[in-house]
Structure 1
């Protein structure tokens, strides 16, 4: 049996599994996963190992709220295209790297164990590193929805900064590899329950440069998540500039 199969191809009762995710998520309720952490750290750092195996080691360690996993996410975000596993997962719609979307999911899924293992602060830094690259790396419409309220509070300055950079890129009509406007609007929507006025301001900054239908549809989430004077005014804005589909969703959001 290979090292990888021992670590992620076998459940905690020693039975082989066909899906690595079964082992990763079983670990959330099984403390025996800690026995595999040293081996996964070695695999993660083994430059001779396969890219897929190293990536899945990172996903496992991150989901299990291990410092080594969070640190690997942070390292990957420093220079995304030089991450050892960059491009091993490709999004079918945009034909761009999809590994950072999966890493964002792993960071999100670590919430319970991060509290148990007292690694929450590093989890926040991992999320911060991902937010900071959201103006040029693809997150498959995941990142904004994965940010919990406390993390949004902690990384709000980074969300403001990355949305501003992304909006500037849209304003400059620079070629985009994916639907950047919608990704930025999703980040703005994540802020709605924390600071509705800021969420509206960020979303309008993006929408003023890109009036794509999907971005407007996603912006309705701000109206759904916060009921303030600012979001009601934003609802009027969406109804004015959006199409019939957007207007219908705005009405539903307002109840």
Structure 2
């Protein structure tokens, strides 16, 4: 029960990494509010309440956090996981796709942190975990907007960590490598095979393997950890 009595909000919780985080955290004793713009792929376990949340909407964020405070009186952990991906290179990227990527993957993280920090400052404690990517620290050809926003999430996390370090709020980022999720399953098979072949462990990661990293950062076990980048990538960035 590593998260006993903690109140958690997870975004992008309907599938993939967000779903795995939600289920694990609930089993570890947390009360979890699982938010997504889509319905969950399967029913959640006990201890989970589903919320509709468009992470690009200030109003949705305000309403979601207010509802959590009304029901539980506090918010201990925020997992900013919701995200999308696009593959266009710089010269092919249309403004519409660029702005959508920023809205979901970067502005969504900003809005979530802002709402959570406002609550956590009053509490004097809290943990925020932002899901970035190995592409926030390194690059491959193409996917210009995705690289841009995940790099931004990396540095936004560090800024918030430094800003609120003396107020009991910890902020860290998690950097997954290639993970087997609906997002990556929708990609071209040859692209997936290329990334997996370039991964020293020669396999895709599992959502639960990312969830366990988030669990550590959300728990009191990481009470002296802030501004850190937790890379979970099968050795990709070590090359």
Give TM-score scaled by structure 2 length: 0.32
Query: Greater share of strand residues, 1 or 2?
Result: 2
Name whichever structure is richer in helix by fraction.
1
TM-score scaled by structure 1? 0.31
Larger radius of gyration: 1
Relative contact order higher in (CA < 8 Å, ≥ 6 apart):
2
